[in-house]
């Protein structure tokens, strides 16, 4: 029996800690409960939104006028060098659990906020590593037909910060199978320490707000010359562009472009509004476009 809650505040369920309440809210732990929640929304004429770990998400100040389905499943298991886990599992917790089993390989993803399902959907990555490098199988629920489908790594169509599932939001990730190798436990602490040094750990933010864009040859050359490193795929860091456009430390109300990592739009005061974050984002996009002829695109999901 589902426990449907009315007028549930959502801000404390997101890393941004911003946003209003859901008209209806329910926590689900398994495929059966997810199906039941979707059917409830249909029967009551309500739209629904499926929420995972609450990272990479900006909820409007007015909240969500429908049913928020919050996935809290956290079951996982190891078979030889393979991890199979529910989409709702916390990514860092899985990496640490794998290290405890003498398995690893994806330690550079340590500290990326949110769930495994969200990481797969957005092909999360950090420090040269991406989740696509480890995923072998994904099980999804088609929320339109309520049918189950399975995808191989190739069928997931992973690209930079996107996947088949991000392009087809009706496909809800249920479980993921990951191939692991030799552990490098020291990389977990080192990666988290590096994220803390860059002030991108334990802050009220949605992670990187913008994707690193493909830029012109001239902009790429300027970045490579200044930073002494090569561009990956013709992309340059959004944070570098934001700083060069004079928007590092820019503020709208309680929303701030971090002075440590400008691509982190931070709810500095704890009282920032979603409207302020969106206004700041638009100001940043305009400044970068005016100076570099580069259009920034949100990595964060703006509900």
Alpha carbon distance 83, 96 (integer Å): 12
Q: What is the mean pLDDT of residues 228-233?
A: 89
Query: Is 194 noted as a catalytic residue in this protein?
Result: no
pLDDT of residue 142: 97
Quick one: which of 169, 92, 100, 97 has its CA closest to 131? Answer: 92
- Per the listing, tokens 């059917």 go with 39
Q: Write out pLDDT tens, residues 131-143.
A: 999 999 999 999 9
Give me the domains of the chain, ranges plus CATH numbers.
5-71 (3.30.43.10), 76-185 (3.30.465.10), 201-302 (3.90.78.10)
- The enclosing H or E element of 274 equals helix 274-292
**CB contact set of 214 (below 8 Å; sequence gap of 6+):** 233, 234, 235
Looking at residue 109, what is its pLDDT? 87
User: Both tokens of residue 296?
Assistant: 């920034």
* Residues linked to residue 27 through DSSP beta bridges, in sequence order: 70
Quick check: is 299 catalytic? Answer: yes
Residue 285 pLDDT > 60: yes
- Write out pLDDT tens, residues 57-106: 999 999 999 999 999 988 999 999 999 999 999 998 998 899 889 998 88
Range of lowest pLDDT (5-9, 147-151, 184-188): 184-188
Task: Kindly state the greatest CA–CA separation across the chain.
Answer: 60
Question: Own/partner pairs for 62-66, CB < 8 Å, 24+ apart?
Answer: 62/20, 63/10, 63/19, 63/20, 63/21, 63/22, 63/23, 64/10, 64/20, 64/21, 64/22, 64/23, 64/303, 65/23, 66/22, 66/23, 66/24, 66/41
Cα torsion 200, 203, 206, 207 to 10°: value is 10
Beta-carbon contacts of residue 65 (< 8 Å; ≥ 6 apart): 23, 47
- Are the C-beta atoms of 280 and 268 separated by less than 8 Å? no
Residues 202 and 230: their CA atoms lie apart, in Å, by 29
At 15-56, the pLDDT tens digits run: 999 999 999 999 999 999 999 999 999 999 999 999 988 888
Q: Which residues of 39-62 are buried (b: 16+ CB within 10 A; e: fewer)?
A: ebbeeeeeebbbbbbbbbbbbbee
Secondary-structure percent of the chain, ordered helix, strand, coil, rounded to 5: 30, 25, 40
161 is catalytic: yes
What is d(CA 245, CA 86) in angstroms, rounded to the nearest whole number? 41
CB distance 74 to 80 below 8 Å: no
Query: Which of 110, 130, 161, 278 is the catalytic position?
Result: 161
More confident residue, 270 or 201: 270
pTM: 0.88
Residue 284 — pLDDT band, cuts 50, 70, 90?
Answer: very high
Helices 185-197, 91-100: axis angle to 10 degrees equals 150
Catalytic pick among 129, 208, 257, 258: 208
């Amino acid at each position: 029996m589902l426990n449907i809650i009315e007028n549930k505040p959502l801000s404390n369920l997101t890393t941004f800690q911003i946003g209003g309440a859901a008209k209806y809210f329910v926590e689900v732990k398994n495929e059966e409960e997810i199906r039941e929640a979707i059917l409830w929304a249909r029967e009551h004429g309500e739209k629904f939104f499926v929420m995972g770990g609450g990272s990479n998400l900006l909820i409007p100040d007015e909240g969500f006028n429908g049913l928020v389905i919050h996935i809290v499943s956290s079951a996982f298991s190891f078979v030889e060098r393979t991890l199979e886990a529910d989409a709702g599992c916390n990514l860092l917790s899985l990496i640490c659990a794998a290290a405890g089993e003498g398995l690893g390989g994806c330690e550079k993803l340590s500290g990326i906020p949110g769930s495994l399902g969200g990481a797969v959907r957005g092909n999360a990555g950090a420090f040269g590593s991406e989740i696509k490098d480890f995923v072998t199988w994904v099980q999804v629920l088609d929320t339109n037909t309520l049918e189950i489908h399975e995808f191989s790594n190739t069928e997931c169509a992973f690209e930079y910060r996107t996947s088949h599932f991000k392009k087809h939001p009706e496909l809800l990730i249920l479980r993921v199978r990951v191939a692991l190798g030799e552990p490098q436990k020291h990389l977990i602490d080192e990666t988290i320490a590096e994220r803390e040094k860059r002030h991108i750990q334990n802050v009220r933010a949605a992670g990187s707000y913008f994707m690193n864009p493909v830029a012109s040859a001239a902009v790429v050359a300027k970045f490579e010359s200044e930073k002494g490193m090569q561009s990956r795929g013709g992309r340059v860091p959004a944070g570098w562009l934001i700083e060069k456009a004079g928007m590092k430390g820019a503020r709208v109300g309680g929303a701030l472009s971090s002075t440590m990592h400008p691509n982190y739009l931070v709810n500095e005061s704890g009282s920032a509004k979603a409207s302020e974050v969106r206004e700041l984002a638009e100001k940043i996009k305009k400044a970068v476009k005016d100076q570099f002829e580069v259009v920034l695109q949100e990595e964060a999901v703006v509900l």
